[in-house]
């Protein structure tokens, strides 16, 4: 039995699948990776964009917003790829418990996975939040202000500091999302990693939590990860190539 077929069998016999996605699925939609060679951190110094620096001065916030402004067009114009749609098919089959994602691009929502089924561990670029009163703004609204020349957007309600609703270096992880991701990982019977190098913690802990609680583990990633030895199946392919094949096999077996 080949690995695609073996993975389809695990999905077929599972009742509660958690899919965990990282940058590897989004790069196939043209969204730049942060850490890979040629990625965003090759062009920008990550030390310039820490949470502490963002809070420290208006000049740092201006630099952060300039950086974020430059990322937005590629994010907002990106479209889901075959990997995203394969995960959406898992939802339609009734197999998907949730998607836990490290990505900030909302491509899972665009592919048809309901918002309430997606746990965004590192936040989202879709919203901007006031750090003082908590008001949320659609990103398009703030982007329009940036395009008109505003350099450091302030909150219309309280005048407070606004920031993209993403988790910056040095910023605490969101407690609710992290706790829910841990609980869903512990309760699933199959954990599927799709396009993550599994080096960023605490996100990379999730597959191990699942495995420790008896789940099967499938890893689909172009390159090896530190967790490969824990996996039941490891497939070194692009997510957009491997996942659709796996889902097609599942559908064929369901038809009998």
170-216: per-residue pLDDT in tens?
Answer: 999 999 999 999 999 999 999 999 999 999 899 999 999 999 999 99
What is the pLDDT at residue 96? 98
Once rounded to an integer, what is the mean pLDDT over residues 212-225? 97
Of the pLDDT bands very low, low, confident and very high (cuts 50, 70, 90), residue 1 is: low
Q: What percent of the chain has pLDDT over 90?
A: 86
Q: How many residues does the chain have?
A: 256
Closest CA to 105 of 83, 80, 142, 137: 80
Give the model's pLDDT for residue 49: 81
Domains of the chain, first to last: 1-31+80-122+172-256 (3.40.50.1220), 32-77+123-166 (3.30.1600.10)
Q: Which are the contacts of 121, defined by CB distance < 8 A and separation ≥ 6?
A: 100, 101, 102, 167, 173, 174, 177, 178, 181, 203
pLDDT category at 100 given cuts 50, 70, 90 is very high
Query: Does residue 71 register a pLDDT over 80?
Result: yes
pLDDT for res 52:
95
Tell me what pLDDT residue 48 has. Answer: 78
- In angstroms, rounded to a whole number, what is the distance separating the alpha carbons of residues 170 and 138? 24
19-33, 42-56, 107-121, 190-204, range with the lowest pLDDT = 42-56
Q: Is 226 exposed, middle or buried (0-12, 13-18, 19+ CB in 10 A)?
A: exposed
Whole-number average pLDDT of the chain: 93
pLDDT band at 70 (very low <50, low <70, confident <90, very high): confident
* pLDDT for residue 57: 93
pLDDT band at 38 (very low <50, low <70, confident <90, very high): low
Which residue do the tokens 């497939």 mark? 235
Annotated active-site positions, please?
Answer: 122
In DSSP notation, 135-169 reads -EEEHHHHHHHHHTT-SS-B-TTT--BEEEEE--B
pTM to 2 decimal places: 0.93
Lowest mean pLDDT among 39-53, 110-124, 184-198: 39-53
Percent pLDDT > 70 in the chain is 94
State yes or no: pLDDT of 40 exceeds 70: no
């Amino acid at each position: 039995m080949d690995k695609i077929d073996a993975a389809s069998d695990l999905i077929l016999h599972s009742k509660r699948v958690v899919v965990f996605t990282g940058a590897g699925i989004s790069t196939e939609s043209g969204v730049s990776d942060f850490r890979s060679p040629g990625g965003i951190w090759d062009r920008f110094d990550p030390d310039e964009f820490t949470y502490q620096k963002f809070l420290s001065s208006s000049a740092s916030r201006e630099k952060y917003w300039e950086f974020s402004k430059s990322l937005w067009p590629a994010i907002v114009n990106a479209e889901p790829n075959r990997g995203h749609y394969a995960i959406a098919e898992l939802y339609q089959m009734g197999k998907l418990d949730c998607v836990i994602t490290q990505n900030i691009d909302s491509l899972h929502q665009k592919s048809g996975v309901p918002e309430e089924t997606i746990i965004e561990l590192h936040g989202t670029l879709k919203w901007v939040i006031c750090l003082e009163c908590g008001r949320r703004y659609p990103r398009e609204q703030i982007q329009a202000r940036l395009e008109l020349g505003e350099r450091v957007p302030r909150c219309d309600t309280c005048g407070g500091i606004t920031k993209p609703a993403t988790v910056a270096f040095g910023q605490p992880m969101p407690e609710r999302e992290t706790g829910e991701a841990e609980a869903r990982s512990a309760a699933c019977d199959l954990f599927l990693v799709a396009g993550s190098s599994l080096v960023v913690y605490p996100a990379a802990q999730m597959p191990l939590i699942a495995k420790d609680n008896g789940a099967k583990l499938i890893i689909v990633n172009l390159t090896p990860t530190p967790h490969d030895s824990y996996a039941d199946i490891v497939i070194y392919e692009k997510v957009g190539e491997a996942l659709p094949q796996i889902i097609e096999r599942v559908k064929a077996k369901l038809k009998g």
